[in-house]
Structure 1
Amino acid sequence: MAKDSEDTPRKKGKGNQIVVWVLMAMLVVGLGGFGVTNFGGGLTSIGRVGDREIDTNTYARALQQELSALSAQFGRNIPLSQAQSLGIDRQVLQTLVAQTALDNEAARVRLSVGDAVVAQTITNSPAFQGTAGRFDRDTYRFTLSRNNLTESAYEATLRADLARQLLTGAVAGGFVAPAPLTDTLYDWVGERRGFSLLRLTEEDLAAPLPEPGEEALTAFYEANLDRFTAPEAKRIRYAALLPDAIAADQPVDEATLRRMYDARIADFVQPERRLVERLVYPSAEAAAEAMARIEAGEAFETLVAERGLDLEDIDLGDVSREELGAAADAVFALEEPGVVGPFDSTLGPALFRMNAILAAQEIDFDAARPDLAIEIQADAARRVIAGRVEAIDDMLAGGSTLEEVAAEQGMTIDTVDYVAAQSAPEGIAAYPAFRTAADNLAEGDFPQAVLLADGGVVAMEFVEVVPAAPIPFETVRDDVLAAYTADATAKALAERAVEVKAAVEAGASLGAYGIVQRTANIAREGFVEDAPPALMQAVFAMSPGDLRVIEGPEFIGVVRLDEIRPAAQEGEDVAAIKASIAAQVEQALAQDALQLFSSALTEEAGIYLDQSAINAVHAQFN
């Protein structure tokens, strides 16, 4: 690492230090996951901005970093082809082009940082600290070597990044949110509404809807084929061995059953219990006075509130006689809910309210035996399957077909049309491990044993892609009827809502058509349970007295705006919200300025991209 420098590192503000550490973290993280020696020969750049080249390995590492982040987000490996469909490669390229434009400008104006700044940044980085918690040169060299980087190359990259930070700080720093803009945004955010909502249901229709005939259902089916079409699927043949399939064949030892029953006797034999609340007082006199008030008709809840407590604070749950101590006899003597006391407790004198009697419960061995046997057999089945996994793997590795493996190992052969996006998969596809393997299964893959969460095992092979196709009407007739009825009901309710709106506008009372839900004071980001987002969008676009029909999934209603409440202008929250808005405005202004500056630099300097070099990088990910 270079030592000589005429520059003395100046003390940075906290904000700048944070930016530097974020920068260092990005650099170190970006080093991992992709060997920079993958690109040899003359393939050193994928293009340039002005006189500044876009390094091939920098692009590769940035792309790998985005793929890793995307894979972590989805919980599975995301191939480059899928990332490209999401535009990830273009985003990475755009970011590097903007950075290179800034680097080019920094070089043009001779903006840089001294060796001392680079040295201080490196030595302060946690990534290069040894076991003593200080910078360690061996750790520094090892980290760079592991990622195929030389010290000079890394330090040059860091120097450029720090210089770019100075340039972007000069461009994006110092913005102050205009007070009128902040106030206007606050007034918009802080406004609240009061409104009345009438929900309409099928009971509000003048007459029940007629039952549709077969012709109507068929016409509806044909007009909405997209709703009754099976999606493209991956047909998979699989061999499975599940605990449920062999559990019933596993032997059960009576002595083991008896030991399990005795070990869990508390689960099967429970004494009589009570649901009890305990209200503790600081002295016996105070508790006795409270009991006298109860006997005089005072509500127990009133005493609880006077103690500054809620009912959940004093709830003991269901308790046995042994758990109640001195109050046990009195509590268990009650034949109906009531209050007794005061009695001493571990927390002091207390009143006890009994709310319910839970009768004693006893499940004898013969009654418990079937459940215990199922548990033992399921555990034995899992052990049997675990003992066959290696043999299944060996047979598959040796070239045996699924049918041969199934016959030898007692597995079941079946086929499933697997759809990755199924919201509620059933059968074998309900296992997460099966879905993960099925997602990655491709034509030509050899079957492998996949362990399932319940101890089962499955092996699968790709058969074919089943194209999307309409499901026969006879198969989905019930679904067609349900969809037809839902659509017809929604249409009829929408028409009824229009009638109600017109009647109310003509002078009728909204409450004359049903129960009206009144919301007196709701913020712009608030919500009404079971109502669509369109409701809040509507009430904040209406004037007082306006009525609107609101439609959404399984929702039809008529809303009237009763009141517009301006944003509060006093209070601690007001200052905090305005400060937050101002910070967001300043950040947006800074980002816009930096984007415009980068775009202008790029346009002025000119861009050249080598698509063949970019394709070569992409090829390394396949």
Structure 2
Amino acid sequence: MITLFREFTKSWVFKGLMVLLVASFAIFGLRDVFGKMGGDKVIEAGDRSVSANEFKAKFEQYKQGYSEQNQGQTLSNDEFVESGQHLQMLNELADQTAFAAWLDSIGVKPSAKMIVAEIAKIPAFFNSVTGRFDKDTYRMMLARNQMTEKQLEDEIADQIASQQYFTAAVAGFKAPRIYAASQAAMTLQNRDASIFVVNEKNITMPAAPTDADITAFYNSRLQQLQMPELRQASVVRFDPNDYLKSITIDEAAVRKMYDDRLKTLVTPETRSFVQVTTQSAGDANAISDAIKGGQTPEQAAKAHKGQVITYDQKPQTAVPDAKIAAAAFGLKTGEVSGAIQGELGYAVIRMGDIKTGATPSYESVHAKLAQDYVKEQAANRVNKDSNTFSDAIRAGKDFNATAKELGLTVVKLEPMTAQGQTNNPQANYSKFAPLVKAIYDLPSAGSASDVEELGEGQYFAVRLDAVKPAGAPPLEQIKGELAQYWMAEKVAGLVQAKADEALARLKKGESFAAVAASLNAPVKPLNGLNRAMVQQSGLPQALAGRIFGGEANENFSVPLNQVNIAVGHIDAIHQADAQQANAMSTAIRGQMTQSIQRDIALTTRNDARTVVKTQLYPNTAVVALGVTPPDPKTIKTEKKLK
């Protein structure tokens, strides 16, 4: 497949198709791609909307953030859509868009001056030398992030408007004292309880299951026993790193690389200078005389309607006007030029520091060139062997034999699902999506794939060794495991019945100690418990919840696990010390205030979505990411999500 594609891309047919494709985009535009989905909008909220292209750009930023938070792990767009994360981002973006639209409708909008001031504070836009906001750096960073100046300014405006609104909305608000007092009293309240544990020691163990029991159990669990299709395959990988050690460095070839790359290896001469531009020769001469007389370029420019441009260690190619560049690189340090006629006007230059260019010697760059040579040769070997292997497989040759002839290693993979999951925790192929797809694209056991790209210069080919169809495993194959599960279920039922019996006896009036003694279960006192200490004590959460959720003298039971059930009694409830509760309420009031303020913000955003009649088009979002919607029928009749 890879070989055929390489050959096809070199043909005149492919080039002609690309010309037609570009022309069709120019004539018809991209709107037709989304035509079946009612336009290219992903979100509509009042007078605002988010287009498919805008959503895609924001999604790429979302993916980058995900990768940074997960130690470089990357997921494909298909995987993001399958996990539903695109919907999470879609809803977050809808909240922002709807709230911004609502603020527009009530007239909350920052001034242009405030927007510019906020942008000027962003460190990413500062010049690394001057430490100040730099317009060129600003534009470069925006281009790198595929964002226009207007898009950033709109986002900053929305952030300022949102901050202004919420600052005003919660100004002076504090959580009521009773809220904090109630929380403190509940947290510091102490409780005494007693428990004993009912388990398999308190029951008569059931007899081993008969064949009829296991068969009935198997039939009743068929739905849960269903397993996905498993495929086992063998793989041959073409990795440049595997060839590195076998490559001998050809010094003549490395020397030729040096000669070929010499122009790119040279460090050009750089200069720092100030250029003052003007529209007439007379003004330029006056500016030149003023600077030579001791004025600064800024003073001279102001007096003669000039404009100052500063160059900090730039090569000649970085000066846009070729005539001015040639003149500048002919001056000496400290020298001030006369009037220079450029392509668009006149200029005067005051020369600053000059750093002479340098040409590295062959010896100084030999190690790097040799490393590049080895990598290039390894890549060539990968290309050669992968093409040879591909040709052999297409000619019907044996997968293993071909690999052996080329000195390649065949690795047998673990049986895997269509998602790359295996029963071996150390073997997870889900991160190798192209590999898994290639295995599941093969028609039957014994068939082999063509050479496919794995990424980072690596290629692979797979042979399907075996297919285990989806479905429940045969009864005889799992009979032993079923017997264990049957026994565990029976034991759990008997333990639960014994615990229920003990609880019923307590409710009828028997003493806690007497019931525990009849079961030979030791009573464990749990005295002086409070909610703060429970989190550090290791007490099971279910048990702690039951103790703090009941009333004094109440009996209860709660499972600790499948075969251990705690039967308990709440002995006493001791209210919090008033002085301690008062001190805590003062300390936590600020936290409760912030929590309520967050709830206000969340409620306001949700209400804004309703007020501006927010509509989401998830299928358009999916198509924008290059993923096929799960149900093709929904593309034609896409419903709006609110």
TM-score normalised by the shorter chain: which range applies?
Answer: 0.5 to 0.7
Aligned to 2:196: 198
Alignment gaps of 5+ in structure 1: 1-36, 242-386, 452-456
Aligned to 1:479: 481
Aligned to 1:509: 514
Letter in 1 for 2:49: E
Q: Is the 8 A contact 1:228 1:476 kept in 2?
A: no
- Determine if the alignment matches structure 1 residue 442 to structure 2 residue 444: no
Residues 251-330 of structure 1 aligned to structure 2 (within 5 Å): none
- Determine if the alignment matches structure 1 residue 533 to structure 2 residue 541: yes
Which whole-Å CA distance do the structure 2 matches of 1:609 and 1:584 have between them? Answer: 35
C-alpha deviation, 1:237, in angstroms: 0.8
Which whole-Å CA distance do the structure 2 matches of 1:459 and 1:530 have between them? Answer: 52
Aligned to 1:559: 568
Q: Is the 8 A contact 1:239 1:406 kept in 2?
A: no
C-alpha deviation, 1:588, in angstroms: 4.2
Bigger Cα displacement from structure 2, 399-408 vs 525-534 = 525-534
- Determine if the alignment matches structure 1 residue 151 to structure 2 residue 149: yes
C-alpha deviation, 1:420, in angstroms: 7.9
Letter in 2 for 1:566: Q
Letter in 2 for 1:49: A
Which whole-Å CA distance do the structure 1 matches of 2:546 and 2:476 have between them? Answer: 42
C-alpha deviation, 1:210, in angstroms: 1.8
Which whole-Å CA distance do the structure 1 matches of 2:169 and 2:207 have between them? Answer: 69
| Match among 75, 78, 85 for residue 78 of structure 1 | 75
Aligned to 1:524: 531
| Match among 215, 218, 223 for residue 218 of structure 1 | 215
Which whole-Å CA distance do the structure 2 matches of 1:140 and 1:389 have between them? Answer: 38
C-alpha deviation, 1:447, in angstroms: 5.4
| Match among 229, 235, 260 for residue 231 of structure 2 | 235
Q: Is the 8 A contact 1:236 1:417 kept in 2?
A: yes
C-alpha deviation, 1:213, in angstroms: 1.7
Letter in 1 for 2:499: A
Q: Is the 8 A contact 2:230 2:470 kept in 1?
A: no
Letter in 1 for 2:482: V
Letter in 2 for 1:619: G
Which whole-Å CA distance do the structure 1 matches of 2:80 and 2:500 have between them? Answer: 47
Which whole-Å CA distance do the structure 1 matches of 2:421 and 2:590 have between them? Answer: 40
Q: Is the 8 A contact 2:77 2:627 kept in 1?
A: no
Letter in 1 for 2:189: E
Aligned residues: 429
The 1:554/1:584 distance shift into structure 2, 3 A limit, reads farther
Bigger Cα displacement from structure 2, 61-70 vs 140-149 = 61-70
C-alpha deviation, 1:442, in angstroms: 0.5
Aligned to 2:85: 88
Tell me the TM-score normalized by structure 2: 0.56
1:104-156 Cα shifts (integer Å, max 9, x gaps) = 34434443333432233222212112324433333212111223434344334
1:298-324 Cα shifts (integer Å, max 9, x gaps) = xxxxxxxxxxxxxxxxxxxxxxxxxxx
The 1:613/1:199 distance shift into structure 2, 3 A limit, reads closer
The 1:569/1:153 distance shift into structure 2, 3 A limit, reads same
| Match among 158, 167, 170 for residue 169 of structure 1 | 167
SS state at 1:127 partner: helix
SS state at 1:436 partner: coil
C-alpha deviation, 1:568, in angstroms: 4.3
Bigger Cα displacement from structure 2, 192-201 vs 473-482 = 192-201
Letter in 2 for 1:509: A
Q: Is the 8 A contact 1:111 1:163 kept in 2?
A: yes
- Determine if the alignment matches structure 1 residue 618 to structure 2 residue 625: yes
Letter in 2 for 1:520: N
Q: Is the 8 A contact 1:239 1:412 kept in 2?
A: yes
C-alpha deviation, 1:235, in angstroms: 0.9
Aligned to 2:496: 494
Which whole-Å CA distance do the structure 2 matches of 1:620 and 1:420 have between them? Answer: 18
1:37-79 Cα shifts (integer Å, max 9, x gaps) = 9997678854543333335544223333334444556664334
**C-alpha RMSD of the superposition:** 4.3
Tell me the TM-score normalized by structure 1: 0.58
| Match among 110, 113, 123 for residue 110 of structure 2 | 113
C-alpha deviation, 1:600, in angstroms: 4.5
Residues 58-77 of structure 1 aligned to structure 2 (within 5 Å): 58-70=54-66, 76-77=73-74
The 1:420/1:187 distance shift into structure 2, 3 A limit, reads farther
Alignment gaps of 5+ in structure 2: 1-24, 32-38, 238-376, 394-398, 442-448, 630-642
Q: Is the 8 A contact 2:125 2:137 kept in 1?
A: yes
Which whole-Å CA distance do the structure 1 matches of 2:420 and 2:618 have between them? Answer: 38
C-alpha deviation, 1:495, in angstroms: 2.0
Which whole-Å CA distance do the structure 1 matches of 2:167 and 2:549 have between them? Answer: 40
Aligned to 2:18: none
Q: Alignment identity in percent?
A: 20
1:484-537 Cα shifts (integer Å, max 9, x gaps) = 111111112222223333445423525512222222233337369997533222
Aligned to 2:597: 590
SS state at 1:197 partner: strand
Which whole-Å CA distance do the structure 1 matches of 2:210 and 2:163 have between them? Answer: 71
Q: Is the 8 A contact 1:393 1:448 kept in 2?
A: no
Which whole-Å CA distance do the structure 1 matches of 2:181 and 2:225 have between them? Answer: 52
1:370-391 Cα shifts (integer Å, max 9, x gaps) = xxxxxxxxxxxxxxxxx99997
Which whole-Å CA distance do the structure 2 matches of 1:392 and 1:498 have between them? Answer: 69
- Determine if the alignment matches structure 1 residue 124 to structure 2 residue 121: yes
Which whole-Å CA distance do the structure 2 matches of 1:173 and 1:84 have between them? Answer: 40
- Determine if the alignment matches structure 1 residue 469 to structure 2 residue 471: yes
1:419-475 Cα shifts (integer Å, max 9, x gaps) = 48899843xx7245x553268620457556989xxxxx9964567975531112221
SS state at 1:195 partner: strand
Which whole-Å CA distance do the structure 2 matches of 1:183 and 1:461 have between them? Answer: 69
Aligned to 2:178: 180
The 1:162/1:475 distance shift into structure 2, 3 A limit, reads same
The 1:162/1:115 distance shift into structure 2, 3 A limit, reads same
Aligned to 2:558: 550
